[in-house]
Structure 1
């Protein structure tokens, strides 16, 4: 598959090219207009620092991401980046680039061990998996953390040079060419950061497991304490950045509990079977394992206690959770398997493993021989961890949505499962020894990924990333700005889920929130450079006339620019429901004016604009 790549320098350039491709695709996605969620980000940080918490809570968001972004905006303005589209999207793109770098580092660490397992040598299951942090007095001893690159180990034996490259390049290509990842890498939201922090959390747990099993190493106990504190910080940070991160934090804690529990059980069984003397090192190891279990439970309690305070920032979030059902409540079997490309990535690799099994008639299990100590012992390896990381939050969210507990089954809430899914497929791919089977499975998975996400169609049309957000707010506001007059009224029908069932009159707080797409970066300027004041429209079209009603003594006949989040056909249907723009008559709240279309509806993707003329209501004495 990669036979054309020769030499260490060329291999580095090849991997670097894949990283650059992922960075370029993510950067190219930032050329699109902001969509409604990003416009909420723009509006939240556009006001005073004291307004961030209330504005974030209205959108069911934690304020801490916006506090961070507000501070970064100040730094960006100081260095000349500004606070425009690039300024608010840049942190997500940087998090994406860091994620790619961490993944490459981890894949390079994993693949020599995978090749040595295939060749029959014995290595610790966590030796290559753990992200080796340079902690005080920590040295690699006794094969616990063998060197990441051992030339005599596997790279230059029997084609290992090519195989080691493929085990880094293939998973990296899966991730870097994932079109949906480009979207979140360029989105002015918290999810790209959460993906990075979550992956780091899993790597910290892997390293923690190594340190806990080998406390006699220099600095072992000190390293464990640092790793525990680091995981607590990552867990609390994720939950406070977005409360749905509690899903992945809980599964990280459960995996640590299972791993330590199985370690205790294995040591206990060895003592019972007489493989180790209770008065010797076996009893001491068992005591240390129990201590590790107690500390791990304490860490979970700390993260749970501090993390639960995140709900204080959004006090009405739980009561409003059913609002998400319109976009995160699908629980069919089709939706379950379409949320992530699990069949596309894992299916070909599992097929290759099955073919290898039947062709060779042997099966190398991988972790059954990981322990040099005799006696019963269970050591959960990378396969278990990546399965729990990829499938745990995913299936939990699906179950919560199916039981109507909380509709959380949306890719943005579960993006933390994407990288573990790639790592799971990569680990399975490392078990395929035949390079033809491995290359075939990798190519089938990659082509399937590009096909199912529409990337091939985008490239066939001569585009790099395509139009992903499909909301042309920037183009729509530029169109209106070019024709706007000082006396024109602005109306915004953002069609947010919070706009359902609101009573009239609409208070000022809800009016500002429902019209935030026209209050941040894309506000319409009136003479003097001041932003225009948009009027929000609820999701109930019957309330529009009353919301647009203007007292005749205060304002004469005037034009109204109506922004609608939806395609042009949908806006035309809404206007048709108002009686073909004519004689709206008396509505709830009193008489209203007459709306007439001045120009046809103009569509900008899923954002539409129409110019209307509003005649003020006639006095009742003049109505016949």
Structure 2
């Protein structure tokens, strides 16, 4: 009951800190998501693909949009209604982390139902209930994810990254379950079940040749979850693929003492590996143009220096403080126990704590490895991958690592352990909130922790009210795809894509004519290009006919606008108008 209350409380906290950020205007990336679902179901995949996205998330979003009652949209607005999907997914992830870190662990690899005799369960292996100590670590992990700045930002954004974090949490839960359970040797003696890989099992003469592969489907499901994450957004593999490799290696090593189990597990992972290789080859073959156009992403997905590694995630609050706290507490606890008893004695049946530490170490190694490799590829191989959105699957993993180290902390007594764990959790959360400025924001009476700053809603509404019939409006959304297009975009499909910011929930209406601009839109609109043989260029003529330009780019030209042109700011969106 206490654990259920903790799950619900963390879920409520996660929703509460995210909801105030849901009413803000969509920013340009979110407007692409809204545009994808603004047409028919058949258009969803095509519109997602032209924006270099995969369709799975947008199809689900389309279904959500058409299942939500219009009355809710009228009350909360289209922004909050659609962003609620990300809020719910990340809030569920936060609550799920409480269950994973504190949860219904299984001490032995071979599951047995619990008996009424605790000593019998300890001897055979069975379920154990979460203690106060592990629950503190679980609550800390859930609250850290609920309150972390990037988890809030992506958890209130109409993009696939909240789904990636939820899938990562599900994969972590399954991997955790598989490390605590496994294959059972059905001995000839009824009811005799031993942990695979244990010395007792390897020496047991009653163990038959046949091993029932109860865990094969679970391991296949783990590969399937990661494949599903790749189908939602392929960049999730930057984090999840190394995690899967680490799990497979550890899985084989853990069952090394029993050949049938090792063989069954190896076949499962190898078969999944073949599917991975085939899928990777097909994906690379069908997306070769992305590699050719990778320079387009260099404006925001490149490294600035080795300090980027430290600034990527809150390593101090999520890793350094809990690891150091655990190590110091372990050393002090051992010293105090030795002074009080004359010799240090390990707690009885401490396998659960050791497995928590092992799991935390494996997950942390995978996260650090993927982060460093991603940095090196971006810095030295010219692969523009260095952005939090591409590594966002690391967040629930790091929060779980923090919770496991806190939950594994032990002192010389139960009460001292509880006090130390609460102190560690409080220190980690306080450092997290202070470093990201959340406490200062709340101190000013501001509840909105995630801000985009692009008020497209107000900008489009202002132009819609100010424009006359048949006025021409240039749209300069500042998309990376504009860099390869001339100022006057010739391809109608590309032109439609480049003006999606006014084709979704924020529309200018049928009275005006919208034109999507390519590169150099501001310069062309303000200072027409050189004339051709007739004395006027086509860009010059069209620009002079346009009364409005809506852009999210920043330009030094805005400081001194030509006579007859005025500028209006709506956050980071600027509207230029000429008389």
TM-score range, shorter chain: 0.7 to 0.9
Mapped partners of 1:248, 1:523: distance in 2:
38
Q: Which residue of 2 aligns with 1:73?
A: 65
1:340 alignment partner in structure 2: 313
Aligned residue among 410, 431, 445 for 1:462: 445
- 1:375-405 CA-to-partner distances (Å, cap 9, x unmatched) read xxx9993123321343233222222212224
In the alignment, which residue of structure 2 is the partner of 1:27? 19
CA RMSD of aligned residues (A): 3.8
Counterpart pick for 1:175 among 145, 168, 173 = 145
What's the secondary structure of 2:300's corresponding residue? helix
Give the equivalent residue in structure 2 for 1:234.
225
Aligned to 1:279: none
CA distance in 1, matches of 2:232, 2:284: 11
**Quick one: distance in 2 between partners of 1:232 and 1:494?**
38
CA displacement at 1:324 relative to structure 2: 2.0
- Counterpart of 2:432 (choices 449, 459, 467) is 449
Q: For the residues of structure 2 that align with 1:41 and 1:488, how far apart are their CA atoms?
A: 27
Q: CA deviation at 1:541?
A: 4.3
What is the CA–CA distance in structure 2 between the aligned matches of 1:555 and 1:105, rounded to whole Å? 61
After TM superposition, the score normalised by the length of structure 1 is 0.74
Aligned with 1:611: secondary structure? strand
Q: Distance in 2 between matches of 1:126 and 1:324?
A: 49
Q: For residues 261-340 of structure 1, what are the structure 2 equivalents within 5 Å?
A: 261-265=252-256, 267=257, 285-306=258-279, 308-311=281-284, 314-330=287-303, 332-340=305-313
Work out whether 1:355 is the aligned partner of 2:339: no
**Is 2:551 the partner of 1:608?**
no
**1:565 paired residue number:** 552
Counterpart of 1:258 in structure 2 is: 249
Q: 1:148 to 1:126 in 2, by over 3 A?
A: farther
Counterpart-to-counterpart distance in 2, 1:260 and 1:522:
51
Q: Distance in 2 between matches of 1:479 and 1:142?
A: 73
Deviations 1:14-64 (A, max 9, x none): 653332111122222211111111011111222343433333233221122
Mapped partners of 2:137, 2:25: distance in 1: 37
CA distance in 1, matches of 2:546, 2:368: 54
Match of 1:88 among 82, 90, 98: 82
Q: 1:491 to 1:431 in 2, by over 3 A?
A: same
Q: 1:220 to 1:611 in 2, by over 3 A?
A: farther
Counterpart selection for 2:362 from 359, 381, 385: 385
Question: What TM-score do the two structures reach when normalised by structure 2?
Answer: 0.80
Give the 3-state SS of the residue equivalent to 2:578 in structure 1.
Answer: strand
CA contact (8 A) 1:575 1:581 kept: no
Query: Does structure 2 conserve the Cα–Cα contact (< 8 Å) formed by 1:175 and 1:181?
Result: yes
Q: Which residue pairs with 1:196 in the alignment?
A: 166
Structure 1 SS opposite 2:159: coil
Corresponding position of 1:272: none
| Residue of structure 1 aligned with 2:52, choices 28, 50, 60 | 60
CA contact (8 A) 1:349 1:438 kept: no
Q: Is the 8 A contact 2:230 2:236 kept in 1?
A: yes
Question: Contact 1:125 / 1:381 at 8 angstroms: preserved in 2?
Answer: no
Cα distance between partner residues in 2 of 1:532 and 1:66: 28
Question: What is the rounded CA distance, in whole Å, between the counterparts of 1:538 and 1:143 in structure 2?
Answer: 70
Identify unmatched segments of 5+ residues in structure 2: 114-120, 187-192, 195-209, 336-343, 411-416, 531-535
Q: Which runs of 5+ in 1 are unaligned?
A: 1-7, 114-122, 133-139, 150-154, 156-160, 268-284, 372-377, 583-595, 614-624
The answer on whether the counterparts of 1:493 and 1:537 sit within 8 Å (CA) in structure 2 is yes
Q: How many angstroms does 1:302 deviate by?
A: 1.5
The alpha-carbon deviation at position 412 of structure 1 amounts to 0.9
Q: Matched residues in 1 for 2:302 and 2:84: separation?
A: 31
Alpha carbons of structure 1 residues 109 and 394: separation in structure 2 relative to 1, 3 Å: same
Bigger relative contact order, structure 1 or 2, given CA contacts below 8 A and separation 6+?
2
More helix by share: 2
- Displacement, 1:445? 1.7
* Mapped contact 1:239–1:310 kept (Cα < 8 A): no
